Structure 1
Amino acid sequence: MKPFEFLRKLASRYLLGNLIAMALVVVAVCLGVRYGLDIYTHHGEKIMIPDVRRKSFSDASYLLEDAKLKVVVSDTGYVPGLPPDCILEQTPTSGEYVKSGHIVYLVVNATSTPTLTVPDVIDNSSLREAMAKLSAMGFKLTQPQYIDGEREWVYGITVKGRHVSAGDKVSVNDYITIQVGNGQRDSTEMVNYTDAPEPEYDMEQEEESGDVDEFHEVTGPEQ
């Protein structure tokens, strides 16, 4: 093919149209990537997170969803005096700027009073050990109640005057009392005493040993 004929075909309308179409496609793809990413990532969009703490869950959800934010309950807590379903904490905090669709995690006040399980400390530990374990678990303790028994030994636990056992559930608002021994024996405790056996008297053994006392009969004067 001669060079002149190649240039003439290159300049033909069909080939020129294909080249222009390809160029337009490339430009369209570049523009789509440029502005599509901005739309997808909400470039330049700023939404201030409202403060929903101490509000009911329904009110908090309405405010956050109205601001085009998503709501997720991440945990529950318990604060006495606050109503159930009250918002205790939020993450991110109020005043921060995020983009639409961002998730706001909420901590909600429990609808019922939480309980704690009584551990196995009754007749199984000293007063110091029981107090350390119960305090670490979150129990509220009163002054110990001393009863007759081994000193500093735990004999029972009471809640509002009622005895509880290991595995029982106790409200976090209730105070528990540890019953501990005062080192004195119970006056009502019955003790059976056993008399020591008396040694048997063996006459024959005593005679053989030569330790038999000799007695002489003494008579009075004849009348």
Structure 2
Amino acid sequence: MNFFQYIKSKEFWSNLLAIFALSLLLLFVLGRGLKSYTNHNERISVPTLEKLSVEEAEKALAELQLSYVVIDSSNYNPDYPPKSVIEQDPEAGSYVKHKRKIYLTLNPSDYMKVQIPDVLDETKRQVVTRLRSSGFNIGKERFIPDLGKNVVRMLEYKGREIKPGELLPKNSILDLVLGDGLEELDSIVKTDSIDDAGEF
């Protein structure tokens, strides 16, 4: 039987039909398997994890077959509990596939610590500018007898003297101890001068 006779035979068309049917079946099986492998059409809503501890967030994600990656942050937020989630990616309400990694940014236990700059013997204006640029807040002022008017002679934190180089949490409130310019002495000197002038 030559080739042309073979392609006209029932055997050829039966084999061709069988191959076609087998190919369709194979494509169907592969398609179903691929969909199952890639979780086609499966969507999980990401829960709200903000303000939860790592343990609480882990439990909530495990129930949804989601994993997580912790990202530490240096920016302390006092509105959130220490070591709690302050940000998540993807955001709550987003739809993801199962086993997707959720990135969690955690709140530090406190503000990061900052070194006290050496500002002693500088004017109040200079000191306030430097302390604020370093991340500190300015609290109360008190004056001591000193020749330097409005010159910073000491820094205090919660009632205790602090030295340049010490580490304090960022946003700490520092009190300034300033020289009064020996105002009382000046007042006495001026009064004496007036009295002396009156004698003439």
Matched, 1:47 2:44: yes
| Structure 2 residue runs without a partner (length 5+) | 186-200
Normalising by structure 2, we get a TM-score of 0.66
List per-residue Cα deviations over 1:76-128 (Å, max 9, x = no partner): 453458654333333333223222122222232334564222123333x4322
Q: Distance in 2 between matches of 1:100 and 1:49?
A: 10
- Mapped to 2, the partners of 1:171 and 1:112 lie a distance apart of 7
1:141 aligns to what?
138
**Relative contact order: is structure 1 or structure 2 higher (C-alpha 8 Å, sep ≥ 6)?**
2
Q: Kindly provide the CA deviation profile for residues 122-164 of structure 1, in whole angstroms up to 9, marking residues without a partner as x.
A: 33x4322321232233323212333314334333322233332
Does structure 2 conserve the Cα–Cα contact (< 8 Å) formed by 1:150 and 1:185?
A: no
Q: Which has the higher helix share?
A: 2
Larger radius of gyration: 1
Superposition deviation, residue 54 in structure 1: 2.6
Residues 98-109 of structure 1 mapped to structure 2, 5 A cutoff: 98-109=96-107
Give the match for residue 59 of structure 1: 56
Pair 1:176-2:157 in alignment: no
Q: How many pairs are equivalent? A: 182
Distance change in 2, residues 1:81/1:50 (3 Å): closer
Amino acid at match of 1:56: S
1:92 and 2:90 equivalent? yes
* Counterpart in the other structure of 2:194: none
Q: 1:134 to 1:39 in 2, by over 3 A?
A: farther
Aligned equivalents of 2:8, 2:83: Cα separation in 1 = 75
Q: What does 1:91-130 correspond to in 2, within 5 Å?
A: 91-111=89-109, 114-123=112-121, 125-130=122-127
**C-alpha separation between the residues in 1 aligned to 2:26 and 2:47?**
38
Task: Structure 1: give runs of 5+ residues left out of the alignment.
Answer: 188-223
CA distance in structure 2 between the partners assigned to 1:17 and 1:134 by the alignment: 90
2:193 matched to which residue of 1? none
Kept in 2: contact 1:158–1:164 (CA 8 A)? yes
Query: Alignment identity in percent?
Result: 28
TM-fit CA distance, 1:58: 0.6
Moved more, 67-76 or 167-176: 167-176
Give the match's secondary structure for 1:157: strand
Secondary structure (helix, strand or coil) at the match of 2:56 reads helix
Using the alignment, how far apart are the partners of 1:126 and 1:23 within structure 2?
92
SS of match in other structure, 1:45: coil
TM-score, with length taken from structure 1: 0.61
Q: Structure 1 residues 84, 8: CA separation in 2 closer, same or farther (over 3 Å shift)?
A: same
